[in-house]
Structure 1
């Protein structure tokens, strides 16, 4: 999985990348009520312009990405000086209020996540095969403090299309993965994308307390 992901970036096979911020982020993030200044975790962030949108709206961003190519492209397309340092197994780059941690999301632990108070997942869950998605949902829950909120964008493929990534992750699976640790609100389903049959779903998540409340 990790080797294939890095190969995609080296070869430029990144059709999942959007050249503008995601409309669902713009529509729904303000209603989450995340306090300005709250640091937002963006797992498997690629070079998403959504991170710049969050930063412009007063949120420090911590993105985690395995592919060095994605991080370097993001920094090259941005404005401002870049500072770099290492933290355990991660190479960390900072540009403005955006930190990019290059490494394996599953090696990022609660000690590094101390300042995080929100999250945004547009293409992390759907990039993972079924066997890894439960591990992802559990690990995300360990990093997000109770009461914190986030936005999740899922995707389903046309019936009979079982390819990926991106993988098809329907509403039933999203609820099964996240309801043990999060309160979920289904916000919308997008229209099928012409030519692909992909259809996005948008969810607001709130981290439950230690007893599930």
Structure 2
């Protein structure tokens, strides 16, 4: 899968990229209760404009992305100086309050996530094949402290081809229920291409939660 995504970025085949902030983020993020200053983890972030929206709403952002091209395009389209450094095997770009870690999400570990207090996944879970999604859900849970909240966008689609992959509500609950309190927020309208998004709120289980 690594080679597939890197090739798509190199060839500019990025139909999954949105040229505007995702409306579900605007609608639902304020209700999560993540206080200003809470650092937000964005796995497989690409060059998502959602990260700028989060930063503009007083959230430091830590995005993780395999494609260096995606991250370079993100900072080129932004404003402000860019600092670059290496840490724990990742090449990191920082622009304002946004950190972009270039590398494999599964190589990002708890010691590097000490300040993370929330997360946002619009295109990470659905980018992964079925065999990898369980690993993703478990790894995400290891990075998120008890009580931390996040927003997840899943996708249902006709046919088994992908990416993006079909991930229905039953799979979302099966993957995340062991470590998160999962709340279904909305289903989007079916799109012309047969895709339909669903939005979920997740709270990391632990001593500070009710369950």
Same-fold status (TM-score > 0.5): yes
Counterpart of 2:203?
A: 206
- Superposed CA offset, 1:92-134 (max 9, x none): 0000000000000000000000000000000000000000000
Question: Retained in 1: the 8 A contact 2:146–2:208?
Answer: no
1:137-176 equivalences under 5 Å are: 137-158=137-158, 161-176=159-174
Cα deviation, residue 192, structure 1: 0.6
TM-score calculated relative to the size of structure 1: 0.97
User: Would you say 1:19 and 2:16 are equivalent positions?
Assistant: no
Aligned partner of 2:8 in structure 1 is 8
Q: Which residue of 1 is the match for residue 186 of structure 2?
A: 188
- Among candidates 182, 194, 197, match of residue 197 of structure 1: 194
Alignment of 1:111-126 (within 5 A): 111-126=111-126
Aligned pairs, number: 210
> Which is further off, 203-212 or 81-90?
203-212
Q: Distance in 2 between matches of 1:189 and 1:64?
A: 27
Q: Which runs of 5+ in 1 are unaligned?
A: none
List 4+ stretches of structure 1 deviating above 2 A. 210-213
Distance, in Å, in 2 between the alignment partners of 1:132 and 1:210 is 28
Inter-partner Cα distance in structure 2 for 1:88 and 1:210:
30
Q: Could you tell me which residue of structure 2 aligns to residue 105 of structure 1?
A: 105
- What is the CA deviation profile of residues 128-177 of structure 1, one whole-angstrom value per residue up to 9, with x for unaligned ones? 0000000000000000000000000000002xx11111000000000000
Q: Is this contact kept in 1: 2:147–2:208, CA < 8 A?
A: no
Distance (Å, rounded) in 1 between the aligned partners of 2:176 and 2:74 = 30
What runs of 5+ residues in structure 2 fail to find an aligned partner? Answer: none
C-alpha RMSD of the superposition: 1.1
- With 32-41 and 202-211 compared, the bigger mean Cα shift is at 202-211
Distance 2:36 2:3 in 1: 37
Q: What does 1:11-90 align with in structure 2 at a 5 Å threshold?
A: 11-90=11-90
Report the TM-score, using the length of structure 2 for normalisation. Answer: 0.98
1:211/1:147 Cα in 2 relative to 1: closer, same or farther (>3 Å)?
A: closer
Structure 2 CA distance, aligned partners of 1:92 and 1:210? 33
Distance 1:34 1:27 in 2: 14
